[in-house]
């Protein structure tokens, strides 16, 4: 299985969001390999995207303007860390937001980290999966194409992609920039 390279993320954010579906997210934690299949993503962009954090921003210091493959992790509602991967070339804003995973390995560790017994609730939401994979502010700025703690590997699985409006936002609903694998029981919401 091949690690995803910088080139994978150096593309149109919408394309990257779609192509990430089915790939395997790997996290090393205390000698364990925790992993899950990416089954739900959203795309966020810049001046053409009023619901993006980079909308109407010109200062290139914002993480969304950074180098492709860099993790952008921030806290939401005071308790949930949300996982984004920067896309597009440096200076052009874009990111893919990871919304849900299908848990693959070391589920018992994930259950302890997220404090739940129900496997279905382990990674079927953006704040839950960061809990279950021990992803927090310390990994902000990490390069997912170089890191030994967290990376993504390719998979050749054929998948059926569905599209919808993004979730949890009030504006920008006209854009169908949420992508998920059809018929997967771990997607956060149909």
Partner DNA sequence: TCCCGGATGCCCT
Partner DNA sequence: GGGCATCCGGGAT
Closer by beta carbon to DNA, 84 or else 106: 84
Q: Which of 17, 39, 71, 95 binds DNA (CB under 7 A)?
A: 95
CB of 1 to DNA, least distance (A): 25
Q: Which of 18, 23, 37, 128 binds DNA (CB under 7 A)?
A: 128
Q: Which two tokens stand for residue 126?
A: 């953006």
User: What is the Cα–Cα distance from 114 to 91, expressed in whole angstroms?
Assistant: 35
CB of 51 to DNA, least distance (A): 6
Residue 127, classified by CB atoms within 10 Å of its CB into exposed (0-12), middle (13-18) or buried (19+), is: middle
CB of 31 to DNA, least distance (A): 25
Write down the H helix ranges in the chain: 6-9, 13-20, 107-114, 126-132
Q: Which two tokens stand for residue 49?
A: 């995207």
Chain residues binding DNA by CB under 7 A are 42, 44, 51-53, 56-57, 62, 64, 74-80, 82-84, 95, 97, 114, 116, 121, 125-128, 166-169, 188
């Amino acid at each position: 299985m091949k690690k995803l390279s910088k080139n994978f993320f150096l593309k149109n954010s919408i394309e990257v969001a779609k192509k990430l579906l089915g790939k395997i997210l790997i996290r090393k934690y205390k000698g364990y390999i925790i992993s899950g299949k990416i089954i739900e993503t959203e795309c966020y962009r810049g001046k053409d995207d009023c619901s993006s954090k980079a909308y109407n921003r010109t200062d290139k210091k914002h993480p969304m303007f950074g180098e492709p493959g860099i993790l952008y992790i921030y806290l939401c509602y005071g308790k949930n860390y949300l996982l984004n991967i920067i896309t597009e070339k440096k200076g052009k804003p874009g990111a893919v937001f990871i919304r849900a995973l299908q848990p693959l390995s070391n589920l018992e560790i994930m259950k302890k980290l997220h404090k739940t017994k129900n496997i279905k609730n382990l990674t079927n939401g953006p704040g839950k999966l960061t809990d279950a994979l021990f992803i927090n502010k310390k990994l902000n700025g990490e390069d997912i194409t170089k890191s030994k703690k967290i990376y993504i590997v390719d998979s050749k699985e054929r998948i059926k992609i569905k599209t919808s409006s993004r979730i949890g936002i009030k504006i920008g609903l006209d854009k169908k920039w949420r992508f998920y694998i059809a018929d997967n029981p771990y997607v956060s919401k149909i």
